[in-house]
Structure formats: structure tokens, C-alpha cells
Amino acid sequence: MKIVLVNYRYFVSSGAETFMFKFKALLEAHGHTVIPFSTRNSQNVSTPYESYFPQGRSSDGNVLYDRIPKTPGNILRMLSGAFYNPEAKRCLLKLLRAEKPDLIFVLQQMNALSPSIFRAAKKAGVPAVHRLSDFNLLCPRYDCLRDGRPCTECIDRHYWHAVRYRCVKGSLPATLVRSASMAFHRTFHLFDSVSRFVVPARFTGELLKKDGFPADKVVCLPTFIDVSDIAPAYGGGKYFLFLGRLSPEKGITELIQAMSLMRNADARLVLVGNHTGGDMETWHGKVRELGLEQRVEFRGFQTGEALRQTIREAIAVVMPVLWYENLPNAVLEAFAYGKPVIASDIGSMPELVEHGKTGLLCAPGDPRSIADALDVLADDPQEAERMGRAARARCEADFDPENYYRRMIAMLEEVLAEQRAKKPPIGAERSADV
């Protein structure tokens, strides 16, 4: 099978790209040909197909909105990426006609490539599958958050709520553009030709259906992790571990407060990950205010052996999130190392963490509930080990790469069979476009 793998970045900048390169390697290991399609950027992994890539969101290659100079040219590029990018359509159509792939598999396309790429695929007679790593088809902010709390008011195309609250970066113009572009995409049916919408969590799939996407096109395929090279470290932990991006919606403030409420005054917390925004000073101040300087440690971003050792030495991984996580990799990493997970009972988390079996669920945004869960595992190392063993077993059974591959290929072959059954008439490529 020849597959064009589409993402607006061809370098690792988030979990979406981490998945992209893992997925590409998995397909290639099984003999499939994978052709990347992205935007031009100096950080991209080199590929012989980069000559097909269109210009990105800015002339200098910046991808983050806050860092893009707001020149007339860049503003035009951003508007094109938000609404309909004709250059991306032309470039992808050229690639599809040259390579004649079986299908395209799309990851992130919003605000850069735009849904115009689906029109390119339709014009070339190539089916498209779209995997969602966040809530960008449902929420102008992509995360279903407002004022630090979950919000689904824009579901079913009620985007005026986002404008009312200025949800995108607190800016009325930015929110208007994003909301108008989402309305444009749905009004002109730019997603209608997508054969399948792949979601990592059932929760996300239910939101898509509620928003009007066809139920028979929504497929839940949880992501995968290769545990063959990961030796589990059951029991004997020294601290609780937060693993992931350090941002308010991850429940960092509530987790620090929970540490001060624990009965076990010797328990420690280590936080590992990149931080965003200006919240670090607030969190350090909260640690000092609560007298937790000896019990709470921020270690920053870690990779490689340093990260592996940090996970091995943990009692459990703690994810007291305030938002609808879309099956985070941090949970799978914890399971792979034989660590139970304490998580908020919200979004996709209950699909991953089986309360009392592979971890514990707590009430989102409730430091007392988090503290009680921490105390359970701090006071009973055997219980933590039992849950860790169950977590590793679930990881091996449910998130194995080969299991994921079989399910994914079965779905893609189903899509191809449907495409062959359509038997489009000769000259269909010249059908009308937006």
C-alpha cells in the first residue's frame, strides 16, 4: 500500500508528530510506502518529497502564531491556512498525480494546509482518512477549555459562543477568524469527502458525532506503544511523578495543593516536562507558601536515560487534568514501566485508567480527592505494585503496535474497498471545486 502521510509539520514539536513518525516507521516495517506531505520549514526532517511542500504560515518558517511577524504577506498566508489554502491543494494534487498513492492519511492540517487538501484528494480520486489528536474540528481553541475549565458550548456549530468569550488567545479578531473559518469549512462541506475520522478515544468520537459528523465514519483506534525495550520497574518508588507539559489545564496548581493535604507528610512529588506561559513563578510561589520546598521538585524537560530513570523510580504517575485529554502518551509510558496512574475522572481518562485496577481516579479540580488517592498508594506499596503489574499487562494487551497495525490496516482496506465500489465516471477529476 502506498500512503501519503499529511501533517502541517514534518518535525517533532508535539505528540501529534511523535505519533506521525512512529506510525510511519510501523507502516514501513510492514512493507508499505509512506510519502510525507507538509509545509516548508528549516526544522523539517529531510525528505526527497519536500519539493512538493507548500509555503507555511510565514515567510521565515515560524509556525507559532505569537512568533510570526504580522506582515501583510504573513497575514494573508495565515488567513489562507485558516480558511482554504489553494497552494496546499495545488501542491498535494501534483504529488498525488505523480505518485498515484492508494490513499492519504491526514494528521494536523488546521491553520496551515487547511481542509483544501481533502478537495485535492477528491479531485485525484484518492480516499482520505483524518486522524484527530485534539479537538480542532469541534472547538475554536482546539482544547475545549474556557477559563481553565472544560467547555463544549461550540459543539453543534455554535461558534458564536467562542466569539462571545474571545476564546482564541483572548483576542476578538483571532477568535472571529478561527470561528468564521470553522463555519466556512462546514458550510462548504470540506470534510464530506473524508472516508474515516480516526480518534484515539471513544470520548472524542462521541463529541464528533454530537457535532454532526457521520457516526459510521468515526472509528476509535487507541494509539500504541512498543514495550519490547522497556523493562518494567514494579514497586519501590521514591516519589509521585507528573509527566507532561506543565500548563494550568494539567492541574498543576491543584496537585501542589494536594501535596499539602496528604496525611503522609513524607511523600514527594517530581514534575517533569516543558512549561508554557508565565505560570512557573506562580507554582514556585505556591510551593513556598505551603512549605513544600523539600517535597516538590521541578526537574524541567527530560529525555533519554534521564527520563527513563525518573519514571522507574516513581511510585505512580499523577495526571490530575482539568480538561478532556485525548488519550495522552504519558499514561501509556507509565503503564509500560509498570507504574499505576492517578488521573482525573474526566474525558478519555476513565477509558485508560481502571479505578482500583491500573490506577485510581479522582475528582477533577479537587485537591482533597487527589490527596486521598496519593495517600492510598503512598501508604500501601504492595497495592501500588499490584496496580503497576496490571497496568503493564493492559499495555501489552491493548496498546501493542502489531495489534494497532492489524486494526488500522483492516480499516484502511475497508476504505479502499469502498472507493473501488464507487467506480467514479471517467472525467470525475474535473468536477467542480471551491
CA dist 264 → 377, 378, 384 (Å) = 10, 7, 15
DSSP, res 397: H
pLDDT averaged per 10 residues, the chain (length 434): 96 86 97 97 94 76 60 71 93 98 96 95 97 94 90 94 94 94 96 97 96 97 94 94 92 97 97 84 95 96 93 98 90 97 96 97 97 97 97 96 97 96 58 50
Q: Which residue's C-alpha cell is 476564546?
A: 167
Closest by alpha carbon to 222, among 400, 361, 103? Answer: 400
98 HSE (CA, 13 A, CB side): 11
Strands 218-220 and 145-146: unpaired
Instruction: Kindly give, in sequence order, each residue whose CB lies less than 8 Å from that of residue 5, ignoring residues fewer than 6 positions away.
Output: 20, 23, 24, 34, 35, 36, 37, 104, 105, 107
Q: What is the pLDDT of residue 253?
A: 96
Question: Which domains are present in the chain?
Answer: 2-137+191-224+401-430 (3.40.50.2000), 143-189 (no CATH), 239-398 (3.40.50.2000)
- Report residue 194 as a C-alpha cell: 473524508
The whole-number pLDDT of residue 131 equals: 97
- Tell which residue, 324, 350, 364, has the closest CA to residue 152: 324
**What pLDDT, on a 0 to 100 scale, did the predictor assign at position 73?**
62
Whether pTM exceeds 0.85: yes
Structure letter (DSSP) for residue 55? P
- Enumerate residues 6+ apart whose C-beta is below 8 A from 265: none
What does the block give as the cell for 272?
Answer: 517533569
Q: What distances in angstroms separate CA 165 from CA 145, 160, 177, 404, one per listed residue?
A: 11, 9, 14, 40
CB 124 within 8 A of CB 51: no
